[in-house]
Amino acid sequence: MTTHASSSFPPLALLLASIVILLAAALHDIATRTVPNGMAGLLALLGVASQLLHFPQYSGFLASLIVFLATAICWRRGWMGGGDVKLLAAASLVLPPGNVVMFVAAVALSGAVLAVIYLGARRVIAAPSSRRPQHLIARALRAEQWRIRRAGPLPYALAIAVGFLFIAL
């Protein structure tokens, strides 16, 4: 059985490398509320390789550009972080062009679920103690408690990673 190039996914190694980068970006975003440019850049390189090798019609580049421009407007309005914009556009490059709209929808749905979780958590999570924990994980959890209680920004790279996993797997 043959499949059309735009509906087939890139090789497993490329998908796994992309997933690892996205999960690392999500963890970094949870811890610091930033996404390093290097992670988005590396993911973009994998995406360019994916497009050039597997989707020669170049519509994937156009789809990713549209994602970038639309999310750049969101960044300009203060609705998204710049790292999230770059990560989302880079992740869209890895996927087949025909899956980009569904990917963006999956990210939006994941982001909505994340927002509901954070809103609900704000009501049940106690204020962090004034004592600073020694261990890194305990410190990260304390910082997250603080962010949730003060309605801080969401770690949207987590929603991007979940949306990607939903589409890729």
Q: What is the pLDDT of residue 3?
A: 40
Could you give the C-alpha distances from 76 to 5, 25, 63, 70, 79, in angstroms and in order? 35, 21, 20, 10, 8
Position of tokens 């204020």?
127
Q: Which has more confidence, 120 or 133?
A: 120
| pLDDT for res 2 | 37
In tens, the pLDDT along 67-97 reads 999 999 999 999 999 999 999 999 999 999 9
Q: Residues 40, 45, 48, 54: is their CA dihedral positive or negative? A: negative
Average pLDDT on 146-163 reads 90
Q: Which of 56-60, 130-134, 138-142 has the highest mean pLDDT?
A: 56-60
Closest CA to 164 of 35, 22, 29, 39: 22
Residue 130 phi, psi (nearest 5)? -80, -15
Tell me what pLDDT residue 1 has.
Answer: 36
Tokens (6 digits) for 21: 């980068």
Chain centroid to CA 41 = 13
Q: For residue 98, what pLDDT band results from cuts at 50, 70 and 90?
A: very high
Of residues 8 and 115, which shows the higher confidence score?
A: 115
Q: Which of 4-13, 32-41, 148-157 has the lowest mean pLDDT?
A: 4-13
Closest CA relative to residue 34, chosen from 70, 105, 82: 82
